[in-house]
Structure 1
């Protein structure tokens, strides 16, 4: 089984932060897991949205995930924490403009 998975999954230092990914692509195992488990996409739907990968690639990614559950879950948690940290440090320009607009509208006397 390991040799079949290794044909489809690779880990390369410096590519995708060294996280396991579909061979020849930048699609990480954790991406496939999120699409499948959290977004409810079937393996066929994933392949239809990313036609450069095969159904065997998707199933190999899911098999790798199930063989390395805690590692992949930890990577997902770390990436989510990083994204939240960036959101806090870098407020949305759209949200800032809306707040400024609302503040301006609130200060204009109605008619």
Structure 2
């Protein structure tokens, strides 16, 4: 008989990893990372191939979590992009000095 996995166990939070944002349990892979690749057009299979230690079930679980919490994850993605842009501008300013 096949083992049944409670999908609620596939995503968790760890305050010591990535600032307590949702991650795929047992990994350091954030739901945010999976959502970004998904939004760039990667399929579930392609994401699982790129991060080859993840199963299809783990990637699907991350996407389910993303869709259930889309507003929060998208806000997190936008904040991360804004911070990266701020740091890039700061770095460019320092190079010119």
Would you call these one fold, judging by a TM-score over 0.5?
A: yes
Which runs of 5 or more residues in structure 2 are unaligned?
Answer: none
Aligned residues: 92
SS across alignment from 1:90: helix
1:10 to 3, 9, 12: 12
1:92, distance to aligned residue in structure 2 (A): 9.0
Cα separation, 2, equivalents of 1:55 and 1:70: 24
8 Å CA contact 1:43–1:58 kept in 2: the answer is yes
1:44-87 Cα shifts (integer Å, max 9, x gaps): 01111111111000000000011111110110011001100100
Q: Give the match for residue 34 of structure 1.
A: 36
1:24-49 Cα shifts (integer Å, max 9, x gaps): 111110110110112x1100011111
Structure ranking higher in helix proportion: 1
Question: Higher Cα Rg: structure 1 or 2?
Answer: 1
Cα RMSD, aligned residues only: 2.0
TM-score by length of 1: 0.75
Cα separation, 1, equivalents of 2:89 and 2:58: 35
Q: Give the match for residue 66 of structure 1.
A: 67
Cα separation, 2, equivalents of 1:74 and 1:50: 24
TM-score by length of 2: 0.85
